[in-house]
Structure formats: structure tokens, C-alpha cells
Amino acid sequence: MPHPRSPRPAALALQIASLATFAALVGLCLTATPVQAQRVIVPTSNSGAQTSGGPSAESGQFLGELGAPAAEAPASPGKPGDAPAAAPAAIAAPWPPAPVEPASPDGCSKPLTGSGTTYHVGPGQPITELTDVPWLSLRAGDVVNIYHRAEPYRTKIGLRAQGTVDAPVVIHGVTDAKCNRPVISGQNAVTARDAAAAGYFNKQYTEPYGLIFIYKSREQAWGSRPKHIRIANLKLTGAHKDNRYTAQDGSTGTYVGGAAAIYAVVVEDLTIENCEITRNGNGVFVNSKSEDEASRGVYIRHNRVWENGNVGSWFEHNLYIQTARALYEGNYIGQLIPGARGSSMKDRSSATVVRYNHIVAAARAIDLVEIEGGVKQVLKDPLYPNAWVYGNLIVNDFRNPGQSSVKLIHWGGDNDERYFRQGTLHFYNNTVLHQSTQAQAWYMALFDMPTGQHKVEARANLFVNQGTTQMRVGHEAGTIEFLGTNWISRDWAEAGPTAPVKIAVKGKLLSQPAVGLGPDGRPRAGAAGTDLADSAEGLPAVEHQFAEPAGIVRRARHGKAPDLGAFEWKP
């Protein structure tokens, strides 16, 4: 499978206590067979000139349980909570789902028991190596408990499992007494025996792409796809182009640049939680590469995802997700490896929700752009045009070893204007901290939008410039509306002198010499923004906040009104 198109540079049948809050989710379709490379347009950061990028992939005919898509009609913007009559049944659930707090505040995990078969893997267990797990035979309600050991497991895994909403398939790490997660490494990994025996992988198009690879196998009926899968409590590393593995035919293989710790060609209802994902090409990659293979329902919760990427390349990111409905909640999303040029997170989904995360900026902190190829299952979601980013701590610090950002949040599109998300980025109750000198960056822009049709609505945020670099609100184009009350450091600028960016202050835009935050971005006594936030009708409520090292906790109000930013001051 060729490399995905890339951006601009810069239950419950499971008797499992800790699954009691497993999300009620959404579902989209489909599968197919490889792949036909196509030319990709990647504008450069300096000139905007178009150059050839890595190839993408499209193939096959349309088939799925929801039937063929309806005739094209303009997408309705909708709002969170809507279950529009026009929406397919697959995406008719209220959105976004309720927040899910971590099963354990310290990240520790114990074995689970499934309603199907439960497999125990590790030292002293019935199965000692992951290579001996019947991965391709997993069914609804099955659980694989992977126990921590001193040495990493080194197995390449193929997953084609089909769980159900009430009985997902669970790949579950069991931590040691110190809450250390079991490690699965792609470095010198051996292909699982069942995958090798079945010839599950294609040597060119699938085998070098992932440590945990999610796709149907060749003998499965057309339209079959993996679904209702939960991966939790693991450290996943080493799916990187510098590393080798033993292929299913016994030869030595090398990962491609776009390899990922978890790589899904197509998947329906995938939850990844309480994992550490580091030192891969992409951390997690989920594709919707054509109408025949469109993913749906991806939930990234309570993970630490950091230091992925490839030196000199902007094609790989910590998270790269293309799906109908994506949720990122309670994660620590760090920088890429030094020298990598990709984004902390990149998303080409519909109805994207990014909430209660700690995000450290790489070339972009948050990159929200259009679905590749106009895949209708994503494009025709009534909520496709919009995104919601709230309750996040976003740090852009040029003292960090990796690349930081001069265009922090990218909204709308980057390649094909026909499919740009033309709705509103709702950006509220975020704390943005920037640190650099003018010698490091003459300016940085908070929001980068490609056309005048794009809009950001900002409310109850703290925008803090802790250096001497000029903080600009916009870059290139678009409209930024300040609603309710926001706080911004002094000496900010609207945009560059020739950029047609529109700034509309429709509420209070405050500025003081000092904001009164601690080094962790949390307010101290007397901090600016205390008791100044309001709640807008129609927006999801801010009821939680990020909790280290990853996860969320309830956000308790201590004053007469909520505070601005991502955290509430606690006396």
C-alpha cells in the first residue's frame, strides 16, 4: 500500500469492570484490495508552489452494509448533539460522546475476562509469546491479556477481528506493580505465526506498514472489515524505517517511512487508550482512502503519543487520522523526533473533536484539513464542515529539541479546495502558551486558514506570549471572531501586513502585563481570566480538564463563574 497523501510542510457482553464505560459508537464501512498510486499536490511552506508528494491509494468498487451513498447534496453544518434525519444510521448518534475518565488514575491495569475467549500471554502464562496468539481467529468478546515483562515483545500482528458494540475485541496490556506497560517493539519483530501461515500480508502493500496492522484478509468476503476493537495499556514502538523485521516468508523486511505502531487500512469503531506510542514513523494511522474503504469512529483517549516521525520529512505525524467522526480526549501529544517536520497531530475527519489534551507543538500543534479524495462517507457527514477544539493546553516552545511552530493551528484544507472544510472551528477554553525570541522566529500565527471562507470562533481562551516573537492572530486568510471573553498578551498583531485576515472582536478581548499562570499552564491566585468565562448555547460544555500524565478529571468551579483557559483555579 503506497504512502498516504500528506500535508503542507510546516458492552456489554464483556464482563469487564473497566469496560463499563466503553463508548457507544458510530460505524462506517468498507474494504477493498490495493492500490493505484496517484499524484499528490503538496504546497510548499515558502512559496505555495505545488510539487509532487508521496503517492496515495484508491481502488475497488463500492459495497457496504449501509448501501451506496445518496445523491450528492450540500453538507449541512449542523451542531453537536444533533442526530440529523438526513444522516446515515451509522452516524446518527449524538456527537460528541460523553467524556470517559481513565479506568485507573495511575495508569495501572489488571487482567480482564472476556465474554468470549480470554488469552493470557507472558511469563508464567499459558502462552508466552505474542507470535503464538491466534490473532486472525479473534471473535466478538475475546480478550488478549498481554503481561508486562522486562524485555519487549517483538511480534508483528495482523488484526481482522469483528467485535460488536456489546462485545468488542480487546487487546489489553497488564502492567507490573509499578504501572509499567508491556512493550511491543517493531525492531527485529517476527511476523505472528497465524499471519505467516495464512499469507495475511502483501509483501509490498501491507507488510511494511505497521506493527499492529488492521485490515481484512484475502479470503474474507468483499465488504468485510475489522470493527469494534479496543487497544489499551501498551507501549508500542519501533515501526520505523530504520528498523527491520522478519517477514511472513522468513525474509528480512524494512518498514516504510509511513509505517505506524497501529495502522488501519479501514476500521469501524477503534478505541486506543492508555497507551504510550513513540519512535515510529506515524504513531497511529487510520485511513479512508476511497469510497470503498472509509473508516468510521476513531477514539484516541488518555494516551502519551510523542517522538514519532522521520527526520527531514513532513509526511509523518504522531497521529494521522482520516475517518467519519474522530475524538481526541485526555492525551499528551508531544513533539516529533528532532529534525522531523510533521505535525503533532493531523486529522482529515468529519466532526473532529479535540478536547482536554496537552499538546506540544511540532510544525503544527493541530492540523485539521480536508478528507482526501472527497470520500463521500466522510464528506457527506452533516458535521463534516466543522470542528471543536476545547479545554486543551497547547504549548509552543522553541526551547524544545524538536521543531516548533510558526503557524500553530491549521484549519480548513491543504490540498484540494473542492473538499475543504468550510464551516467553523469552534475554539474555546484553551490555554495557548508560546515561547520564543525574535531570533528564533520573527512571528508566530495562532490560526492559519487557506481561504476567506474559513472562520474560527474563539471564546474563553488564554493566548499567552512568553517571548519576544510577535504573536499574530491569523495567517494567510480567513476570519477570527473573538466572542464572549478572551485574554491575549499585549503587542499582538492581527496578521502579516498583506494577509487578508479579518479580525472581529464581538466580546471582550482583555490584555494585562502578566497572566499569572504557573509553569504547568495552570492558574495561580490572582491569575488573569479568573471567573470570566461564559458558556455558549449549542457548544459542548467544558466539564473536565487534562490530568497528568494523561487522562481527564472533573473540572470543579470554585468561583462565581468558570475561568478562562483549559484549567480552573483551585484555592
Q: For residues 564 and 228, give the distance between their C-alpha atoms in angstroms, rounded to a whole number.
A: 37
Local structure of residue 561 (DSSP, 8 states): S
Q: How many helices (H) does the chain have, and how many strands (E)?
A: 2, 41
Contacts with 548 (C-beta within 8 Å, 6 or more apart), sequence order: 332, 358
> SS3 of 148, please?
coil
Q: How far apart are CA 60 and CA 30, in angstroms?
A: 10
More confident residue, 539 or 43: 539
Over residues 437-456, the mean pLDDT reads 97
Asked if the model's pLDDT at residue 421 lies above 50, the reply is yes
| Cβ partners under 8 Å of residue 95, min gap 6 | 26, 80, 81, 82, 325, 351, 353, 383
Question: Which residue has 464572549 as its cell numbers?
Answer: 484
pLDDT of residue 292: 83
Tens digit of each residue's pLDDT (9 = 90 or more) over 125-164: 999 999 999 999 999 999 999 999 999 999 999 999 999 9
Nearest residue to 24 (alpha-carbon basis) of 71, 90, 113, 79: 90
**What's the pLDDT at 514?**
79
Residue 290 has what pLDDT?
Answer: 85
Pick the more confident residue, 298 or 87: 298
What values do phi and psi take at 376, rounded to 5? -65, -35
Assess whether pLDDT exceeds 60 at residue 76.
no
Q: Collect all residues with Cβ–Cβ distance below 8 Å to 150 and sequence separation of at least 6.
A: none
**In the structure, what pLDDT confidence band is assigned to residue 515 with cuts at 50, 70 and 90?**
confident
Where are the strands (E) in 255-406, listed by range?
260-264, 268-273, 276-278, 282-286, 296-301, 304-306, 319-321, 324-329, 332-333, 345-347, 352-355, 358-360, 366-368, 387-390, 393-397
Q: Which of 80-94, 120-134, 258-272, 415-429 has the lowest mean pLDDT?
A: 80-94
Q: Mean pLDDT over residues 20-40, rounded?
A: 28
**Is 80 exceeded by the pLDDT of residue 67?**
no
CA 357 to the chain's CA centroid: 11
Rounded average pLDDT over 446-462: 98
What is the pLDDT, as a whole number, of residue 92?
60
Quote the pTM value: 0.86
Residue 458 pLDDT: 98
**pLDDT one-digit tens code per residue, 462-496:** 999 999 999 999 999 999 999 999 999 999 999 99
How many residues are there in the chain? 571
pLDDT reported for residue 223 = 67
The C-alpha R_g of the chain, in whole angstroms, comes to: 22
> Percentage of residues in the chain with pLDDT exceeding 90?
77
Helices (H), 307-416: 376-379
3-state secondary structure 199-212: CCCCCCCCHHHEEE
In Å, the largest CA–CA distance within the chain is 68
Q: How is residue 39 annotated by DSSP?
A: -
Nearest to 260 by CA among 544, 4, 548: 4
**Residues in Cβ contact with 33 at an 8 Å cutoff, skipping those fewer than 6 apart:** 59, 60
**What average pLDDT does the segment 506-524 reach?**
91
Give the chain's mean pLDDT. Answer: 86
Question: From CA 485, how far away is CA 529, in angstroms rounded?
Answer: 9
Query: What's residue 537's pLDDT?
Result: 86
Choice among 45-59, 310-324, 327-341, 438-452 with the minimum mean pLDDT: 45-59
DSSP state of 478: -
How far is it, in rounded angstroms, from Cα 153 to Cα 188? 10
In angstroms, rounded to a whole number, what is the distance separating the alpha carbons of residues 407 and 42?
Answer: 17
C-alpha cell at 541: 460544555
- The one-letter code for the residue type at 306 is W
Quickly tell me which residue has 472582536 as its cell: 505
Q: Answer yes or no: is pLDDT of 419 > 90.
A: yes
Whether the per-residue pLDDT at 74 is higher than 80: the answer is no
Return d(Cα 198, Cα 136) in angstroms, integer: 9
Q: What is the pLDDT of residue 446?
A: 98
Report how far residue 290's alpha carbon sits from residue 50's, in angstroms, rounded to the nearest whole number.
23
Here the cell at position 91 is: 452516524
- The mean pLDDT value for 425-454 works out to 97
Q: At 475, list the grid cell.
A: 495567517
52-56, 177-181, 245-249, 274-278: which has the minimum mean pLDDT? 52-56
Q: Is the pLDDT of residue 33 over 80?
A: no
- Whether the predicted pLDDT of 19 surpasses 90: no
Where in 279-375 does DSSP place strands (E)? 282-286, 296-301, 304-306, 319-321, 324-329, 332-333, 345-347, 352-355, 358-360, 366-368
pLDDT of residue 509: 97
The DSSP element (H or E) to which 132 belongs, if any, is none
Tell me the mean pLDDT in the region 100-129: 96
What average pLDDT score do residues 307-322 get? 98
pLDDT of residue 93: 76
pLDDT at 214: 98
Helix, strand or coil for residue 568? Answer: coil
> Do 280 and 236 touch, CB atoms closer than 8 A?
yes
Task: Report how far residue 284's alpha carbon sits from residue 328's, in angstroms, rounded to the nearest whole number.
Answer: 12
Residue bearing cell 448555547: 537
pLDDT for the residue numbered 91: 57
Instruction: Render pLDDT for 374-389 as a digit per residue (tens, 0 to 9).
Output: 999 999 999 999 999 9
